[in-house]
Structure 1
Amino acid sequence: MRSSATPAFSCLRLLRRFRRSKRGSAALEFAIVAPVFFALLFAILETGIMFLADQLLESITQESARMIQTGQAQTASYSEAQFASYVCSEIPALFNCSNIAIDVENYPSFSSIALANPIDGSGNFDASSFKYNTGGPCDIVVVRLFYPWQLFVTGLGWNPSNMTGDKRLLSATAAFRNEPYGGGACPAS
């Protein structure tokens, strides 16, 4: 006849053996650390890609603004759609051309430039006030490009979104005086 103390004794012995065993501890530690590690890794990758996209948008803006600054867009009578098509031809695969918003305005002086924030109080992008006015020779022009960038890893207490729907509005601006492409010289300012 077996005593009832034997199963209790073998369970205690099994628990002591489990506690002393070091096999599998690395896997257990990795299982605890892995979610935080991968979340941080993906957040770093997403931030890097977002900064890359922002720099590409800046380059596209500078290239597109040069078309206006040198008078090529004006002498070729580019419409807003034609200028948008030119901008789209400069865009790499990282962007969707249909999501880029373009604002081109001219001003009488650099001190009169007033740029409104295109994000309304609710966090929505509002491009309704955008214009396409390239100005003439020697006019001061501001070209702005905007792109709502979708974010995916917004946890860990750091969320770079500035719009609803976990989006970040990327923007790039070029302010310049048009060259005197019609001949002559620009007046001293």
Structure 2
Amino acid sequence: MLRFNMMHKLKRRRQGFRSDADGSTAVEFAIVAPLFLTIMFSIFEVGWFYFANSVVDASVGDMARLVKTGQVQGWDGTDEEKYDDLYDRVCKIVKSFGGCENRLTLEVDTFDTFSDLAANNTPPTCADAPPEDLAALPFDPGEELQIIRVRVCYIYTTLNPAIGVNLAEPGTNQRRIISTMIFRNEPYELNNREED
């Protein structure tokens, strides 16, 4: 009889525990919250990365316009000073993503024909390249009607490397944003002569 009463009490407690809803919301939140936060951080990370990518693209467009219209070629100073000025202009736009020091490189290169451009398959040089590659970055804004390739490489630091979508390259918490524009310089010298 004692054993029956004890078993009956245990059975009632188990049934009571099963029907008790206290704390069920906390348990559900503990199960759902990590997934929800992971998705939320992933959406934010991808959105911020695409925003950074579009800002780098816009800065390359602005820089390319200065080269294409002959403004860079008309600036006073050496090619190194012109490069530094263009670098500073791009840096002002992209520095909100973590600065430019050891993150930003730009290349301006000239080609005689589109075939020459197609044959040149050198990858962009980023700021994490060896020093000898960084010292040899091309800067030649060219003359009127020449084919120009403008490339910018920005090393973007990811926001949430451990949570959600990991956009970083393996072994780092960074990703390269590379933007390229190819165009033919305008006949800017001819336009300047007509205005005189």
The 1:140/1:119 distance shift into structure 2, 3 A limit, reads closer
Residues 99-125 of structure 1 deviation map (CA, whole Å, 9 limit, x = unaligned): 2211111111122112422479xxx94
Secondary structure of 1:97's match?
coil
Deviation at 1:85, TM superposition (A): 1.7
Q: Which structure 2 residue ranges, 5 or more long, are not aligned?
A: 192-196
From 148, 164, 181, give the equivalent of 1:174: 181
Secondary structure of 1:79's match?
helix
For residues 163 and 179 of structure 1, the distance between their equivalents in structure 2, rounded to whole angstroms, comes to: 42
Question: How many percent identity over aligned positions?
Answer: 26
From 104, 119, 123, give the equivalent of 1:117: 123
For residues 118 and 110 of structure 1, the distance between their equivalents in structure 2, rounded to whole angstroms, comes to: 18
Quick check: 1:89 aligned with 2:92?
yes
Quick check: 1:41 aligned with 2:40?
yes
Q: Which residue of 2 aligns with 1:68?
A: 67
Residues 108-160 of structure 1 deviation map (CA, whole Å, 9 limit, x = unaligned): 1122112422479xxx9425352111111111111111111112434578533
Q: Is the 8 A contact 2:39 2:164 kept in 1?
A: no
Quick check: 1:25 aligned with 2:21?
no
The 1:155/1:90 distance shift into structure 2, 3 A limit, reads closer
Query: TM-score, with normalisation over the residues of structure 1?
Result: 0.79
Deviation at 1:52, TM superposition (A): 0.8
Secondary structure of 2:186's match?
coil
Aligned-pair RMSD on alpha carbons? 3.0
More helix by proportion, 1 or 2? 2
Quick check: 1:100 aligned with 2:104?
yes
* AA in 1 matched with 2:123: N
Q: Is the 8 A contact 1:118 1:125 kept in 2?
A: no
For residues 35 and 169 of structure 1, the distance between their equivalents in structure 2, rounded to whole angstroms, comes to: 29
* AA in 2 matched with 1:101: T
Paired residues for 1:120-135 under 5 Å: 125-126=128-129, 128=134, 129-135=136-142
For residues 157 and 46 of structure 1, the distance between their equivalents in structure 2, rounded to whole angstroms, comes to: 8
Aligned pair count reads 180
* AA in 1 matched with 2:83: E
* AA in 2 matched with 1:111: S
Residues 146-181 of structure 1 deviation map (CA, whole Å, 9 limit, x = unaligned): 111112434578533336413110111111111111
Query: TM-score, with normalisation over the residues of structure 2?
Result: 0.77
For residues 125 and 62 of structure 2, the distance between their equivalents in structure 1, rounded to whole angstroms, comes to: 25
Deviation at 1:79, TM superposition (A): 2.2
Q: Is the 8 A contact 2:41 2:164 kept in 1?
A: no
Q: Is the 8 A contact 2:105 2:125 kept in 1?
A: no
4+ long deviations beyond 6 Å: 3-9
For residues 21 and 34 of structure 1, the distance between their equivalents in structure 2, rounded to whole angstroms, comes to: 22
Q: Which structure 1 residue ranges, 5 or more long, are not aligned?
A: 185-189
Deviation at 1:6, TM superposition (A): 8.0
* AA in 1 matched with 2:68: Q
Deviation at 1:94, TM superposition (A): 3.4
* AA in 2 matched with 1:177: R
